[in-house]
Amino acid sequence: MKNTLKFIGGTTLFVVSLHASASDYEVITVHGSATHMQDVTPLDSQRDISPDFTDTLNAINGISVNHNGPVTGVLQYRGLIGDHIPVLFDGVGIAGAGPNAMDSPISHIMATSNTQVNIYKGVAPVIAGPETLTASVDITQNIDWDSFSNTQLFWRGTDNGKAQYIRAQHEEITEDIYLSGTGFYQTSDHSENGNSAQRSQSFYKRYGGQGQFGLKQDNGEWLGSFQHQYTGPSGTAALNMDINYIAATWARLSYTWEAPANAEVKMTLYGNRNTHDMDNFSLREISEPMAKRLNSVDSQLQGVKASWTNATWQAGLQWQTQAHNSLITNPNSENFAIVNFNDVQRSRTNAFIHYTTTDSVQSFSFGVQPTQVKMHADNVSHHMQQNQVSIAKLVNDFNTADKALSWQFIDWVGNYKRVLNPNLDWFFDVGLKHKAPAYTQVYVWFPLGISGGLADGNNYIGELALKHETAKSINTGLLWETPTLTIQAQIYLSDIDDYITGMPSTNEAVNMLSMMMSNKTPLQWSNVNSQLYGMEIDLSYQISQQQNLVLKASISRGRNMDNSTELFRIAPAKLYAIWQIEHERWTYRIKQTLVQNQDNISLLNNETPSTGYAVTDVISTYRAATGLTVTIGVNNVFAKNYQDHLAGINRVGGAEPISERLSALGRTFSIGIGYQF
């Protein structure tokens, strides 16, 4: 292990990291930076048997993954879900193609040797980006210039899912040039639950590649990356359709100039393009041919970000624009065509200034960020608009409405740290932060099951008059550190005015159509007042040279204060215990997960209570020879059949009951072989 000192956003951050040559990462990765609590977790592609790194993400305290399909995980952090919690890649965002988060942000994470999940816990400073209501999640791939050229090969097979994962990466590193190429392939047949029954729509297939380069010059550095990922036929049992394909490409190019007076100027160009088809008949049974639906969507995003940093100040400007289209057709009916998003555009401009001051006992940072979000949408159409009065009204209402919208707001964030004694730090964050609506919350004009990944089974309708969300947040915590024991405890409270959630629609035409099509009363995106609060405790104890114990506990609540109800799909209380034992060439990890039952449910979103569960995983790594590691794992050792509270609701049927939560993986044996040379 080595300590690297990084210069991030005007604050000095100590990051404990291991080069990813072996699979033996330390488990706990909680850190205090100069003024913020921060969590840095290397992506563990060898020990994590989930296709989308859910095991790694779930084990970060405060994070949970809501699953609508095996490769369609929607991140939740401290009760904020989906569009409420932006996920960045190297500091900038990507636009997903689908309005239902089938290509959710975390589905774009590709494991390279240097991929890390970075979270500003508490109230993220403005340098973490605009439209982060509280915390921010950033998936980074920092180049390790001190490393050496190498090739990494990894293969894993898991028995009962017949899943395969293959990954290869080559890094070429000289003093001033870095080149890396990574490719991966993963596929799985239907997997089985704890009762050995087939899990509905649990198959997937993905592959992709990434190239990364770095070039050091006398007083500057170029960095670039390009990623393409293709998702083939993959199930999403919690949604009305499955994935036919998702083709996702992104590119980033940045230049950092070491400016005079110890300053740094950085410029980044970034963009992505995703195309995606989904349907309700290729991969699942359908009752009648006229009910066939094919939804073709695309999205693209371009942006530029520039910043100037010195020891105490950081200032910057960012602009990005994204565009979306969506067309629903029926392959058995030539006329059938619902244009549900037509050239929707969402553009954002923000500026930020951030100040940090540090002395031997305390640190303080303060930031301001004015942001403007603009959206517009072109006219829509429906094949029935000539002969159905209600549809004609909705098309006409939307097409004649003023669809050019804008929101302005200013974020204010203060972070404070005080050293109480040599082992104990106190952190306090306060923030007033904002977020404009997602395009799906504004421009859905026809009642459809478009929920931005909530997948609650309801039909939704947009609201052109939505206000932006305003979060007033505080977060405070203590960090106790000795050579053998680290304890961190945090509590948080966010009062969010105009929080956007679905409330029963009062539009008669919409309600009638929704009842006619699917016998459901739709929800309309609405502003309500909400509150999120909770706590987290992280503990790491070095029992001996060879043994380490980690405990992570989290509790979160989300309340709609307007009608005193619970927010939807909030993670229940969780406790992780990880006991790691090193013995000669072996490392054993025993992981115990305890999840409480969840009775705090949202009836409006058809949510039902869930029971708690306990699951044990055992993963052993054997260092067979230099560079050669073998990982043998048994996940869910006692073959517990359980449904996680955040699992999607089965809308397909199959061996598992319809309208109930999808089961988790049953007992799963896996073997992985990694070779680095």
Using CB under 5 A as the criterion, which residues of the chain lie in contact with Cu ion when the complex forms? 98, 102, 278
Q: What is the DSSP string of 542-583?
A: E-SSSEEEEEEEEEEEEEETTTTEEPTTPPPPEEEEEEEEEE
Six token digits for residue 638: 């006692």
Of the pair 293, 435, the CB lying nearest Cu ion is at 293
CB of 119 or CB of 455, closer to Cu ion: 455
Torsion-angle region of 319 (φ positive above 0: left; ψ -120 to 50: alpha; else: beta): beta
Query: For residues 295 and 318, which CB has a smaller minimum distance to Cu ion in the complex?
Result: 295
**What is the SS3 assignment for 1-40?**
CEEEEEEECCEEEEEEECCCCCCCCCCCCEEECCCCEEEE
When the beta carbons of 49 and 278 are compared against Cu ion, the nearer one is 278
Closer residue to Cu ion (CB): 439 or 576? 439
Q: How far is the CB of 276 from Cu ion (least distance, A)?
A: 5
Residue 126, classed as helix, strand or coil, is helix
Could you give the CA distance from residue 87 to residue 97 in angstroms, rounded to a whole number? 15
Tokens of 114: 């240097």
Give the shortest CB-128-to-Cu ion separation in angstroms. Answer: 28
The DSSP symbol for 148 reads -
Closer to Cu ion by CB, 278 or 391: give it. 278
CA of residue 651 relative to chain centroid, distance: 23
Rounded least distance, CB 213 to Cu ion, Å: 32
Secondary structure of residue 125 in the 3-state scheme: coil
Cα separation, 670 vs 48, whole angstroms:
10
Query: Residue 165 CB, nearest distance to Cu ion (Å)?
Result: 23
Least Å distance, CB 72 to Cu ion, is 9
Give the three-state DSSP class for 647.
Answer: strand
Residue with tokens 């609201």: 463
Considering the complex, state which of residue 119 and residue 243 has its C-beta at the smaller distance from Cu ion: 243
Nearer to Cu ion, 58 or 72 (CB): 72
Nearer to Cu ion, 10 or 96 (CB): 96
What is the dihedral angle through the alpha carbons of 100, 102, 105, 107, rounded to the nearest 10 degrees?
Answer: 170
Contact 657, 663 (CB under 8 A): no
CB of 44 to Cu ion, least distance (A): 28
Rounded to a whole number of angstroms, the minimum distance from the CB of residue 342 to Cu ion is 17
Number of neighbouring beta carbons within 10 Å of residue 376: 16
Closest CA to 191 of 674, 664, 672: 664
Minimum distance, C-beta of residue 235 to Cu ion, in the bound complex (Å): 12
Could you tell me the smallest distance in angstroms from the CB atom of residue 96 to Cu ion?
A: 9
Smallest distance from Cu ion to CB 98, Å: 3
Q: Report the chain's C-alpha Rg in angstroms.
A: 24
User: What secondary structure letter does DSSP report for 196?
Assistant: S
- Convert 313-340 to b/e letters by CB count within 10 Å (16 or more is b): ebbbebebbbbbbbbbbbeeeeebebbb
Whichever of 440 and 643 has its CB closer to Cu ion, that residue is: 440
At closest approach, how far in Å is the CB of 347 from Cu ion? 24
Q: Which residue has the tokens 């240097």?
A: 114
DSSP bridge pairs for 366: 355, 414
Please, which residue, 34 or 278, has the CB nearer to Cu ion?
A: 278
Q: Provide the minimum distance between the beta carbon of 492 and Cu ion in the complex, in angstroms, as a whole number.
A: 33
Neighbour tally for 480: CB within 10 Å? 15
Element (H, E) at 371: strand 362-376
